[in-house]
């Protein structure tokens, strides 16, 4: 097992479903009732939000009126996908300590985002991160590149989520894969088209609260069973596994370059994910933006401690209980990714199993909605309003375009979700993070902090990073060997980010310095004003009332 498995595990429990689950599960009535309740409640919110979503600002940023605490929950919700809940607790169940290594990798990007980009982003941006990147550079080329980076990230991430969703629902609810994917697609189109960012944010908040409550209940019940002592939990787990290996790092990190490269992808990729960056425009000012990250980091960190506890609880409760073991294939039914679901059953019977299943589905819905909104904004705000119409477009038209884009993206996501059912989609999440870290992040970061950045440097250097990331993913084991069927991978490491991000930074740096054009001189001269605004928020969208 190597680092690549992280992406495999977290992006798709598909492989487990494919390999180990031949039949569908029996209908779980309590799960379906709770899920229907969730859908009705969220559609109610969408209706409420639709009445409040009148302007483009409402649609893209919920009117900028989300508080830091709410936004922190929503960001945490975007991050705590079903894949990370089931994937990380499953990984802890299988490997013990190694599961913790992943959680930490996912968390540590947040402090960096807070220290280096969060408030500058809020002060400079309006609706999308391309607003920030193109602030003093030429609109057309920068927006096209940033929108392509956004769309590529969103598309790969969305396909992975859709495939995971379809397979999870198949397992949990006994619904056909195609129906599951179509249902997710339609619900997400409804939320985003009618309710915009306001509905998307509240769906995310509700789901985050449900997920945190459900996971807390599980962890507390596990700790109750072991007398609230971690030592007892660990020793029972070691006894159940008949192995002490789960208490220490295993073979997960065999080579340091892959480890560092993955660390970079997770850390800086997070700071380049368009649906995450967009959340910073939903709060009123820099103060609330900072609070958002503080609360988000707290919730996400707490969540990872819960999944760690649940994973160890699963070892204790499931390992030797024949109810959950697969008599034919060995291991637990449905593979490691189902450990949290089985643990829910072991703790609270069918009712709690239903609750956790419904929450897992709700989680998928909320995450795909956020992604779709980010993708639609890149099309309507960047490509249509600012590039195609060159800013000469009224708000109503822009909003209409964003709604059509949402529907189009939703349909594309359904089609690709069905098309990729049997594919190994692990590399897609890898690609999404690598592109975010190698194209979106360097351009965004340098546009905010490096005076001498020019349009030419950003466009060529950023494209180079994007290209390198894609080529290295194709040459790595995930595609070159597993998909294309070659014997050995040309690129030996699991993740391209260490190299592709370096290429992007060096490329942007050299090409910007070589750029002696007249427009470059203007762009450099415009930095001081941008810097004052990024540091103080003077002139920032939405902060005028403060």
* Chain positions contacting other proteins, by CB under 8 A: 97, 100-101, 103-105, 107-108, 110-112, 114-116, 119, 230-231, 234-235, 238, 244, 247-250, 252-253, 255-256, 259-260, 263, 267, 286-287, 290-291, 293-294, 297-298, 301, 304-305, 308, 528-529, 532-533, 535-539
Q: Which is nearer to other proteins, 307 or 339 (CB)?
A: 307
| CB closer to other proteins out of 48 and 531 | 531
Toward other proteins, which CB reaches closer, 228 or 230? 230
CA distance 472 to 379: 27
Which long-range contacts (C-beta less than 8 Å, at least 24 apart) are formed by 327-332? 329/20, 331/20, 332/93
Closer Cβ to other proteins, 118 or 218, answer by number? 118
Identify the sign of the CA torsion 8, 463, 127, 454: positive
Rounded Cα gap, residues 131 and 486, in angstroms:
42
| Secondary structure of residue 482 in the 3-state scheme | coil
| CB nearer other proteins, residue 299 or residue 499 | 299
Q: Which is nearer to other proteins, 305 or 510 (CB)?
A: 305
Give the shortest CB-4-to-other proteins separation in angstroms. 15
Q: How far is the CB of 126 from other proteins (least distance, A)?
A: 14
The least distance separating other proteins from the CB of residue 409, rounded to whole angstroms, comes to 32
In the complex, what is the shortest distance from the CB of residue 364 to other proteins, in angstroms, rounded to a whole number? 25
Q: How far is the CB of 224 from other proteins (least distance, A)?
A: 19
Question: Nearest approach, Cβ of 343 to other proteins (angstroms)?
Answer: 20
CB distance 244 to 334 below 8 Å = no
**Residue 101 or 387 with smaller CB distance to other proteins:** 101
Contact in structure between 156 and 468 (CB atoms under 8 Å): no
Residues ≥6 apart with Cβ < 8 Å to 157? 273, 371, 428, 429, 432
Q: How far is the CB of 183 from other proteins (least distance, A)?
A: 35
DSSP 3-state percent helix, strand, coil across the chain (nearest 5): 80, 0, 20
CB of residue 233 to other proteins, shortest distance in Å:
9
Neighbours of 251 (CB within 10 A): 10
* Angle (CA) 441 469 146, round 5°: 40
What does the alpha-carbon distance between residue 162 and residue 372 come to, in Å, rounded to a whole number? Answer: 11
Q: Which residues pair with 517 in a beta bridge?
A: none
DSSP state letters, 297-334: HHHHHHHHHHHHHHHHHHHHHHTT-GGGB-TTT-SBTT
Q: Closest distance between other proteins and the C-beta of residue 369, in Å?
A: 26
| Shortest Cβ 239–other proteins spacing (Å) | 9
Category of 243 on φ-ψ map: left (φ > 0), alpha (ψ -120 to 50) or beta? beta
Q: What do you get for the CA distance between the two ends of the chain, in Å?
A: 52
Query: Is the CB of 24 or the CB of 522 nearer to other proteins?
Result: 522
Residue located via tokens 């065999």: 254
CA distance 111 to 2: 26
Rounded Cα gap, residues 368 and 361, in angstroms: 11
Considering the complex, state which of residue 245 and residue 489 has its C-beta at the smaller distance from other proteins.
Answer: 245
Cβ proximity to other proteins: between 249 and 349 the closer is: 249
> Minimal CA–CA distance to 6: which of 109, 110, 94?
94
Q: Least distance in Å: CB of 106 to other proteins?
A: 10
Distance, in Å, from the CA atom of 310 to the CA atom of 96, rounded to the nearest integer, reads 11
Q: Is the distance from CB of 122 to CB of 283 less than 8 angstroms? A: yes
For other proteins, the closer of residues 279 and 403 by Cβ is 279
């Amino acid at each position: 097992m190597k680092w690549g498995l992280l992406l495999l595990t977290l992006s798709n429990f598909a492989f487990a479903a494919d390999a180990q689950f031949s039949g569908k599960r029996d209908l779980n009535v309590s799960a379906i009732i709770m899920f229907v309740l969730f859908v009705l409640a969220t559609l109610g919110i969408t209706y409420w939000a639709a009445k409040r979503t009148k302007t483009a600002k409402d649609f893209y940023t919920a009117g900028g009126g989300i508080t830091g605490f709410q936004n922190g929950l929503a960001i945490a919700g975007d991050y705590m996908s079903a894949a990370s809940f089931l994937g990380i607790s499953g990984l802890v169940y299988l490997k013990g300590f190694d599961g913790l290594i992943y959680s930490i990798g996912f968390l540590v990007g947040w402090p960096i985002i807070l220290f280096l980009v969060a408030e500058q982003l809020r002060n400079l941006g309006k609706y999308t991160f391309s607003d920030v990147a193109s602030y003093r550079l030429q609109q057309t080329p920068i927006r096209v590149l940033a929108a392509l980076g956004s769309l590529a990230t969103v598309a790969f991430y969305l396909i992975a989520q859709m495939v995971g969703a379809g397979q999870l629902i198949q397992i949990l609810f006994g619904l056909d894969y195609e129906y599951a994917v179509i249902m997710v697609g339609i619900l997400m189109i409804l939320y985003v088209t009618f309710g915009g960012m306001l509905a998307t944010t509240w769906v995310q908040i509700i789901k985050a609260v449900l997920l945190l409550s459900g996971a807390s209940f599980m962890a507390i019940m596990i700790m109750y069973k072991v007398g609230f002592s971690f030592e007892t939990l660990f020793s029972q787990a070691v006894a159940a596994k008949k192995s002490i290996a789960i208490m220490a790092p295993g073979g997960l990190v065999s080579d340091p370059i892959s480890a560092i490269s993955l660390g970079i992808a997770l850390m800086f990729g997070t700071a380049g994910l368009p649906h995450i960056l967009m959340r910073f425009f939903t709060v009123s000012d820099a103060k609330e933006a900072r609070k958002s990250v503080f609360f988000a980091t707290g919730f996400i960190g707490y969540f990872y401690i819960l999944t760690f506890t649940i994973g160890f609880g699963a070892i204790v409760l499931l390992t030797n209980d024949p109810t959950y073991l697969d008599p034919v294939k060995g291991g637990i039914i449905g593979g490691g990714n189902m450990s949290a679901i089985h643990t829910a059953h072991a703790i609270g019977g069918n009712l709690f199993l239903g609750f956790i299943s419904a929450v897992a589905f709700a989680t998928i819905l909320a995450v795909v909605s956020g992604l779709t909104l980010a993708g639609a904004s890149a099309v309507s705000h960047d490509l249509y309003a600012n590039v195609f119409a060159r800013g000469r477009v009224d708000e109503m038209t822009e909003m209409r375009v964003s709604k059509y884009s949402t529907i189009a993206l939703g349909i594309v996501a359904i089609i690709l979700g069905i098309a990729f059912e049997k594919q190994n989609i692990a590399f897609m999440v890898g690609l999404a993070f690598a592109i975010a870290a190698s194209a979106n992040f360097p351009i965004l970061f340098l546009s905010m902090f490096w005076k001498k950045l020019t349009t030419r440097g950003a466009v060529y250097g950023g494209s180079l990073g994007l290209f390198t990331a894609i080529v290295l993913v194709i040459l790595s084991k995930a595609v070159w060997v597993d998909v294309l069927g070659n014997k050995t991978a040309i690129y030996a490491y699991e993740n391209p980010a260490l190299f592709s991000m370096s290429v992007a930074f060096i490329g942007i740096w050299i090409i910007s310095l070589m750029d002696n054009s007249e427009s470059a001189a203007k762009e450099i001269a415009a930095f001081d004003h941008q810097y004052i605004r990024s540091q103080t928020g003077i002139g920032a969208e939405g902060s005028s009332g403060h």
